[in-house]
Chain A
Amino acid sequence: RAPVRFDRHKVFRVKPQDETQAEVITHLAKTNELDFWYPDTIHHVAANMTVDFRVSEKESPSIQAALDQSKMHYEVLIHDLQEEIEKQFDVKED
């Protein structure tokens, strides 16, 4: 079995400003495969909380569009997760 690759998977950091925006994330989690980094499940997402999640390349555009549409504050913490996975081994020798 080949290892899972994360080419162009993105990690979003969003901060819902109110309950309506928190609901948007809940809805996105129902319709997309979001890997929550912080908090660890959708159940803990609340207004004014910083939320980090990973999303595949395929789902990124629709997520980004939904965040834009709801005027949610967000940033893309990681643009290409696979690149970061390879970059974590940055010590050549001890």
Chain B
Amino acid sequence: SPGRHSYAKYNNWDKIVAWTEKMVKKRPEMVSRIKIGSTIEDNPLYVLKIGKEHKGRKAIFMDCGIHAREWVSPAFCQWFVYQATKSYGKNKIMTKLLDQMNFYVLPVFNVDGYIWSWTQNRMWRKNRSKHHNSTCIGTDLNRNFDASWGASQSSHNPCKETYPGTAPESEKETAAVADFIRSHLESIKAYLTFHSYSQMLLFPYGYTSKLPPNYQELDKVAKIGAEALSSRYEAHYIYGPIASTIYPTSGSSLDWAYELGIKYTFAFELRDRGKFGFLLPESRIKPTCKETMLAVKFIAKYILRNAS
């Protein structure tokens, strides 16, 4: 037995896998588990589909834990699944959302890296792929997408923390996620990705300072999302395009999903702003998830009403 899963604590990979099984068993009418691929170390990549079986529904894809050391991110994805299933039939907004749309939730994107951060190096960021002619390990999965891949100043040195890989989608994890999203593109109307550190709500672009065509709409949604984030515990989140709000990046999942045709793509940089950094205490998981939930529900409502 992997031990007891808790939403108020950080859970290792074994506990998360057991939890995915439990969620499916507990709510089979609402939760299903899809294996979308596997990692270089042969760990499965699981997506939980939340919602009922109806064709032609809108969907939102969410991923957590693309960077291994950002532990509060997978904690949020687990929290979201729990809250969504628990509040269905009780909470008016969540009931309406789940009656009319689906959520695809990837609780841990960078599984190998996450395991490594639990067992060997808490500060690990990348995945665990090996590279020719280098003893350095790992690719930054959020630089490995086909969106101006490799164009920024991020070094092509495999020893660097932002190494983008040998080619776009060179990593099994990136390719699996990209394939899944491509094959569900008709239904996926929004893409949300959860990181941690610095309290921001970001939207495209990262690889250019140009603004996306629906900038004004994204800016409006992000503004209200940031207000929702601060409404419970007054956590101050800033919002805006990646390049000007945080810093320029190329090969990010957010830009890739946007350019693929998903016109509502947002990246959350969750708590905190530097006091704890990547070591947010477990006692802060609940408040962080609760405030994030408010923003995600707002965005989902907006998508349901406005995305075509």
| A residues adjacent to B (C-beta < 8 A) | 1, 3-4, 6, 11, 13, 35-41, 43-44, 50, 52, 54, 77-78, 81, 84-85, 87-91, 93-94
Contact = CB atoms under 8 A, between A and B. Distances in A.
Interface in B244-284: 246-248, 274-283
Interface residues of B, number: 35
Contacts of B120: 1, 3-4
Contact of B121 (A3, A50, A54): A3
B276 A84 contact: yes
B282 A37 contact: no
Nearest to B142: A40
A53 B160 CA distance: 14
Interface in B149-170: 152-155, 160-162
B282 A85 contact: no
Nearest to B71: A88
A81 B246 CA distance: 25
A94 B8 contact: yes
18 contacts: A3-B120, A4-B122, A4-B123, A37-B274, A37-B277, A38-B197, A38-B274, A40-B247, A41-B162, A44-B153, A54-B123, A87-B279, A88-B280, A88-B282, A90-B283, A91-B282, A91-B283, A94-B7
A50 B275 CA distance: 13
Contact of A35 (B7, B10, B123, B276): B123
Given A3-B121, A54-B123, A88-B10, A43 B278 contact: no
A44 B143 CA distance: 15
Contacts of B7: 94
Contact of A36 (B71, B122, B161): B161
A86 B156 CA distance: 34
A74 to B, nearest CB: 13
Contacts of B43: none
A37 B122 CA distance: 13
Contacts of A81: 123, 279
A89 B10 CA distance: 8
Contact of B154 (A43, A78, A91): A43
A3 B117 CA distance: 9
B103 to A, nearest CB: 24
B119 interface: yes
Interface string B116-154: 000111110000000000000000000000000000111
Contact of B198 (A13, A38, A44): A38
Contact of A44 (B119, B123, B247, B285): B247
The 5 closest A-B pairs by CB, nearest first: A43-B153, A44-B247, A91-B282, A94-B6, A4-B121
Contact of B274 (A52, A54, A90): A52
Contact of A91 (B9, B161, B198, B275): B9
Given A4-B123, A88-B276, A41 B160 contact: yes
By CB atoms of chain A within 10 A, which of B160, B246, B279, B285 has the most? B279
A62 B208 CA distance: 37
A11 B280 contact: no
Contacts of A36: 161
Interface in B191-217: 197-198
A8 B77 CA distance: 32
Given A4-B121, A38-B197, A91 B6 contact: yes
